[in-house]
Amino acid sequence: MNYSTALLDGRQTAEADRLTAASGTSEIILMENAGRTVAREIAQRRDMCPVMVLCGPGNNGGDGFVVARHLNEAGWPVRIALLGSRERLTGAARHHSELWQGAVEPLTPAVLDGAGLAVDALFGAGLSRALEGSAKETLAAAAGKGLRIVAIDVPSGLMGDTGQSLGAVQSIQTVTFFRKKPGHLLWPGRQLCGEVVVADIGISSTVLEQMAPNTFENDPALWISDLPRLQNDGNKYTRGHALIAGGYPVTGAARMAALSAARAGAGLTTIAVPEIAFPIYAGALTSIMVKPLAAPENLYHLLEDHRFSAFLIGPRAGVSEATRTHAIAMLRTGHPTILDADAITAFQDDPEALFREITGPCVFTPHDGEFARLFDPKGDKLTRTRAAAKKSRAILILKGSDTVIAAPDGRAIINTNAPPTLATAGSGDVLSGILLGLLAQGMDPFLASAAAVWLHGAAASEFGPSLIAEDLPDLLPVVFRRLSETRPK
């Protein structure tokens, strides 16, 4: 397993520290390495100015004492304010506090006077409740002054496991250690962290093999080896045949999905459409085949053709009994099936009827509103997406600027490359089409889901401002070409 983009929750981070200490690297050394790294980041990236280090009563505060000592030795004017007293510090934090030769002030908003930069070493991810008291007041005062803040681990008040804020304020930079946490990537955490730097403090990556993390940041390293490869002796049928249920009277959604499936590599792509809509689809498409259906039940006969290898239903299919029965028929073939948009909403009155039909590869691609029609919308995004995948036995792609992809077995991937230009009508239809093209070629559904989401974001980034969904399919070749240059032979 490639753990290069693994994300660690608070429990796993503590376990990594424990395993490292057990192998001979003490907590005192890890704290020294952490604080020195933060000080180096500040010195390399910021102009020298008065620094106020805000220290908490635990290990995050111990890191802050190390930061202050190293900045002071480099000639920076540094002061420390501590929540609580030195006498109550323990372990490595106590050790490093005793190496600080300067004054230690009580934590109040007044300590910020004259500071040009604040270091948030109050709590990091160790806080599990809302900020309160002098910590809350001091950070709020720093934000109110527009003071630049560098946070250690995560901004205090930000939940490292979920990205939820319980009083955190904006940092310009967050320095974390060994691996990122989910909260660095999930909103609003991603915004509150500012630039995230992951520092090496001497924890070996071999500890990940003992811990086997199951949450990752989306990156080609996770799935590039599994992307379908063209075969010299292949043909259009060996590259897979994708089938989309096309809607009427709105036809653009299915057409964009079909073009995207073809651009993603499907050897053949067919749209099955109501007979009345055939001239519209056929007149707008060339390489995409259009199959007219004289009656909705004719789709069942089409599904008996075993040359089809993956299905998509939902983009403007209509919220109807026909959509429900067509989705169930697709699922019963055992071929990979994507349910998007209307195909999700069609089951809002009886989600269990849908879940009972999922016995093979299936992917849902909802946005938050569609998600809430089938699943419990309460809780943080990562937890509820995982719970939905487990309950439905489908892979969930919960879309957004921090899209989460979750599998029924608990694996999850958080995507970070989606630009804001993707907030445009039809972009979700393109995503479903990219995924369909990969599934049609036989790619693992979970990895295909992650790849499709990343490719979707990369294509949008290629275009830049003024993007509309119709631009996306034609941008995929550039993205695939660049991937091929880095793909293992």
Report the pLDDT value the prediction gives residue 1, as an integer from 0 to 100.
Answer: 73
What pLDDT, on the 0 to 100 scale, is given for residue 444? Answer: 98
Please say if the pLDDT value at position 156 is more than 80.
Answer: yes
* pLDDT given for residue 439 in this prediction: 98
> What angle, rounded to 10 degrees, do the helices at 10-22 and 27-45 form?
120
Dist CA 53 CA 34 (whole Å):
15
- In this model, does residue 127 exceed pLDDT 90? no
pLDDT recorded at residue 430: 98
Mean pLDDT value across residues 2-13? 95
pLDDT band at 486 (very low <50, low <70, confident <90, very high): confident
The pLDDT, as a whole number, for residue 10 is 93
Domain residues of the chain, as ranges? 10-212, 220-486
Does residue 12 register a pLDDT over 90? yes
Alpha helices in 106-149 (DSSP H): 133-145
Q: Which pLDDT score is estimated for 489? A: 73
Cα distances (angstroms) measured from residue 346 to each of 224, 321, 326, 340, 375: 34, 7, 11, 10, 14
DSSP letters, 222-242, are HHGGGS----TT--TTTT-EE
Q: Is the pLDDT confidence value at 83 over 90? A: yes
Q: pLDDT digits over 89-118, tens only?
A: 999 999 999 999 999 999 999 999 999 999
Q: Which residues pair with 268 in a beta bridge?
A: 241
Is residue 249 predicted with pLDDT exceeding 80?
yes
**pLDDT single digits (tens) 44-55:** 999 999 999 999
Q: How far apart are CA 69 and CA 55, in angstroms?
A: 13
On whether the pTM is more than 0.95, the answer is yes
Q: Has residue 383 got a pLDDT over 80?
A: yes
Q: What is the CATH architecture of 220-486?
A: 3-Layer(aba) Sandwich (3.40)
> Measured between alpha carbons, how far is 251 from 270 in angstroms, rounded to an integer?
14
Q: What are the tens digits of pLDDT across the range 259-300? A: 999 999 999 999 999 999 999 999 999 999 999 999 999 999
Phi/psi at 234 (5° precision): -85, 170
Q: Provide the mean pLDDT of the chain.
A: 97
Domain 10-212 in CATH 3.40.50.10260: yes
Write down the pLDDT at residue 350.
98
Res. 440: pLDDT tops 90: yes
Average pLDDT on 54-69 reads: 98
Q: How many CA atoms lie within 13 A of 391 on its CB side?
A: 15
Q: What is the pLDDT of residue 403?
A: 98
How high is the pLDDT of residue 487?
84
Among 185, 229, 284, 274, residue whose Cα is nearest residue 442: 229
More confident of the two residues 230 and 83 = 83
Half-sphere exposure of residue 89: CA atoms within 13 angstroms, side-chain side: 25
Type of residue at 214: N
Give pLDDT, residue 126.
75
Element (H, E) at 119: strand 117-121
pLDDT in tens, 180-234: 999 999 999 999 999 999 999 999 999 999 999 999 999 999 999 999 998 899 9
Q: What is the pLDDT of residue 236?
A: 94
Give me the numbers of helices (H) and strands (E) for the chain, helices first please: 19, 17
Q: Taking 80 as the threshold, does the pLDDT of residue 406 lie above it?
A: yes
Residue 40 makes CB contacts below 8 A (sequence gap 6+) with 70
Express as a percent the part of the chain with pLDDT over 70: 100
- Mean pLDDT for the stretch of residues 32-57: 98
Query: Quick one: average pLDDT of 290-317?
Result: 96
